[in-house]
Chain A
C-alpha cells in the first residue's frame, strides 16, 4: 500500500513582482514550499502513522524543485521522485497530469494521491483534477477532513467544502484528494529529519522512464507573457467627520452618488 503526495516550490508571497517591457516576469529569488502542500505532506505522514503504508513525495520540475522533496522527506515521507524532462519546459496542466499519472502507475501499488488545494503561484488546481482523470480514479477535492480511510475495504469518507456548503462524501479507493488548510496542523522538519533528507538520493524520471513520447506531453495552451496590473490611483480618500455617525452618513452618500450601490 502506497500514498503519493505531490508538491512544488513557489515564489514567496511577499516577493516583489516586476514585469519587463518584453512581458517577462521576475518574482524574487526566494522560493518557499507551496503553502497548501505543507498540509498535504503532513496528511500523508499522518496516514502513514495510522496505517501501514509507504509515502512517496513527488514533484514535476527542474533541480530547484528538489527543495520541496527534501522538505517532504524531512517531515517523514519515505522516498522522493522528481519528474522532469526538457520536453516539459512549457508543460500545461494536461502534460503535468499525463506525466504524474504515468509515474504513479510506474510505482504500481498506489491507492491514494494527495495534493494541496492549488499551486499558490499560478493559482491553479486544474492539474489535480486532470491527474485524477488520467488515472481514471475518483476525485475528492477541497477536503477539510478525512473522516474514514480503509485501505483493506478500499473505502474513504471525507468532508469537503464546496460552494454549496460542507458535504460528507463516501467514495472508493484508489482516489485523488486535494486538501484544505483546516485538515491538520502542518508538521515541521526535525533536525534528524533534515539530516536524513540531505543524504537522500532523489531519482529523476524522464519521459523515457515513464514510457511517454514528447507528442503526448505537447502543450495545448501556453503562457505568452505577463502584464502589470492596472494601478489603483494613490491612496484612499479619507472620510472625515466629528462623529462616527457623520462619517458613516458621508460614506454612504458617496457610495450612492457614485452608483456603487
Chain B
C-alpha cells in the first residue's frame, strides 16, 4: 500500500522547527512506496529546501514571497488548502505547534476533511489513520480514527516521534508556487514581535528546568536559569510561581500552561499538583528536587533529591559544567 503524504515544514524567522522533521520521518514510514512532499512557505526559504530532502522528502513545494515571511492564518491556510486540493494527497502532516494546529485545522475545515490532532502514535489501517493522544490532563489516552473521506489532516505532538536521521545528498523535484492570496486581501497584519530572545522554546526543548513555589520569589529563578544555560535547556515554571508574578505566563507548564515532553524534566521546588503533572507527565525522565520528601512529585520522578534547591541547583550546575565540558 502506498500513500502520498504532504508535510508542512514550519519555519520561524527562517529557522525550520524540529517538529517538522519529526513529521517528515512519520510521513516516510506511512508513505511506503508513495511520495512525500514537503511544503515550505516563507520569504528567503531556499536554505531549508535541501534539509527537507535530507530528512526524507521526495519533492518540495516552495512558496517564497514577502507576504508569507511569517506564519499568518489567512495566507497560509489559503495556500495549503489550494495545494491539497490540486494534488489530492492522502495525508497532510505537521507538528502540533501553535501555528501547526491552527493551520491544519483551518485547512481541514475549508476542505471538509477529517482531522486528528496532537497525536502521539499514528498508524494506517486500510487507508484510514488511527491515532492515540493524551486527554484529560494526560491522565488517559484516547484512541481515535478517521472515519470520513478526503485528505486526512494530522498534527503530531512535538517530540513524540523520533527525529529521522539526516541523509545529506538526497534530492528531488522543487515546485515553485505563488501565494494564493494577494497582500491586500490579508486583513491581519503583524505590527511587532517581541521574540523570546534566543531562549529555548518549552515545547521544542529536550531538557527543561522548572521552578515552583519553592523558589520563593523572582530572584529564586536565577539558579534555575543558570542550570538551564549549562544544559541548553528551557526554563519552565509551575502555576504557583506564575500566579505569584515571579515569572511570565509563557513559562508555565501544566494544564493551563504548556504541555511538554522533554527527554529530561528537572522540577525544583515544585510539589507536583495534578494541575502541573498534566503538563509534564510525558517527560521521559523526571528529576525532582524538593525539601519535602512527601511531595507528590517524587511519585512521578525517576530520580529525587531531598534538599534545599538553593544548595542543590548550584551544585548541579557545577557538576554538569565539569562533566559536559
Contacts and interface: CB of A to CB of B under 8 A. Distances in A.
A126 B144 contact: no
Given A27-B136, A161-B250, A232-B300, A260 B285 contact: yes
A164 B12 contact: yes
A169 interface: yes
A180 interface: yes
Contacts of B305: 238-239, 247-248, 251
Interface stretch (A74-82, A194-202, A218-226): A218-226
Contacts of B150: 220
Contacts of A141: 73, 98, 102
Nearest to A120: B255
Contacts of B146: 220-221
> Which of the four size classes fits the interface of chain B?
35 or more
Interface in A146-196: 157, 161-172, 180-182
Contact of B13 (A15, A27, A164): A164
A237 interface: yes
Contacts of A239: 303-305
A214 interface: no
Contacts, number: 262
Contact of A223 (B143, B149, B201, B203): B143
Contact of B132 (A25, A124, A227): A227
Given A126-B117, A167-B192, A226-B140, A235 B319 contact: no
Nearest to B281: A229
Contacts of B221: none
A129 B137 CA distance: 21
Interface in B96-115: 97-99, 101-102, 105-106, 108-110, 112-115
Contacts of A97: 109
A133 B113 CA distance: 13
Given A138-B188, A164-B193, A239-B303, A248 B318 contact: yes
Contacts of A144: 249
B118 interface: yes
B147 A221 contact: yes
Interface in B63-104: 70-71, 73-74, 77, 97-99, 101-102
Contact of B115 (A23, A126, A162, A164): A126
Contacts of A121: 135-136
Nearest to A220: B148
Interface stretch (B25-33, B40-48, B308-316): B308-316
Contact of A236 (B145, B149, B250, B302): B302
Nearest to A224: B143
Contacts of A40: none
A229 B141 contact: yes
A198 B232 CA distance: 54
Number of contact residues on A: which range applies? 35 or more
Given A17-B136, A229-B138, A256 B190 contact: no
A23 B132 CA distance: 13
A182 B249 contact: yes
B142 interface: yes
A53 B131 CA distance: 43
B114 A220 contact: yes
Main secondary structure of the interface of B (DSSP, over half): mixed
Given A133-B106, A163-B99, A170-B188, A221 B140 contact: no
A46 interface: no
Contacts of B307: 244, 247
A101 B78 CA distance: 19
A19 interface: yes
Contacts of B135: 121-123, 226
Nearest to B282: A229
Nearest to B202: A163
B74 A138 contact: yes
A3 interface: no
Contacts of A52: none
Interface in B167-219: 187-197, 201, 203-204, 207
Nearest to B207: A261
B190 A228 contact: no
A94 B108 contact: yes
A254 interface: yes
B255 A236 contact: no
A228 B77 CA distance: 35
B142 to A, nearest CB: 6
Contacts of A227: 132, 140-143
Contacts of A7: none
B274 interface: yes
26 contacts: A25-B140, A94-B109, A122-B135, A123-B133, A130-B115, A139-B73, A161-B250, A162-B99, A164-B195, A170-B191, A182-B249, A220-B114, A222-B144, A223-B143, A225-B143, A229-B281, A235-B301, A236-B298, A238-B306, A245-B315, A248-B319, A251-B305, A251-B319, A255-B285, A260-B284, A261-B231
